[in-house]
Amino acid sequence: MANDLVSISEYLNFVTVEKGLSKNTVSAYRRDLIKFLDFLKDANTNLDQLSPELAGEYVAWLRGLNNEKRLGESSIARNIVTLRNLSAFIARESKSTDPLKEYSPPRIPKRLPKALSVSDVLALINTTQGTSATQIRDSALIEVLYATGGRISEIVNLEVGDLSQIEESLTIRLMGKGGKERLVPVGNFARTALENYLTSARSALLKKKSTNALFLNLQGNRLSRQSAWQIIQENAIKAGIEDHVTPHSLRHSFATHLLDGGADIRVVQELLGHASVTTTQIYTLVTIDRLRESYASAHPRAK
Question: Does 301 have pLDDT greater than 60?
Answer: no
Taking alpha carbons only, the member of 243, 294, 270, 95 closest to residue 174 is 270
303 pLDDT above the threshold of 90 = no
Determine contact, residues 213/219, Cβ cutoff 8 Å: no
Query: What confidence tens digit (pLDDT) does each residue in 177-214 have?
Result: 778 899 999 999 999 999 999 999 999 999 878 899 99
The answer to the question of residue 103 being in a domain is no
Q: Is residue 108 part of a domain?
A: no
Residue at 172 is within a domain = yes
**Contacts with 84 (C-beta within 8 Å, 6 or more apart), sequence order:** 100, 103, 105
In a domain, 109, yes or no: no
Q: Are 9 and 125 members of one domain?
A: no
In single-letter form, the type of residue at position 187 comes to: G
Report if residue 111 sits inside a domain: no
In a shared domain, residues 143 and 213: yes
| Active site (catalytic) residues | 151, 177, 248, 251, 274, 283
Residues of the domain holding 232: 118-296
Find all residues with CB under 8 Å of 99, minimum gap 6, and list them.
50, 51, 52, 87, 91
One domain, residues 62 and 144: no
pLDDT band per the 50, 70, 90 thresholds, residue 86: very high
Record the pTM. 0.64
CATH number at residue 142: 1.10.443.10
Domain count, the chain: 2
Q: Could you tell me if 155 and 222 are in contact, meaning their C-beta atoms sit under 8 angstroms apart?
A: no
Mind listing the pLDDT tens digit for each residue in 152-169? Answer: 999 999 999 999 976 678
- Do 17 and 130 fall within a single domain? no
Where residue 103 falls (left for φ over 0; alpha for ψ -120 to 50; beta otherwise) is: beta
Given a cut of 80, whether residue 130 has pLDDT beyond it is yes
CATH of the domain at 32: 1.10.150.130
303: DSSP letter: -
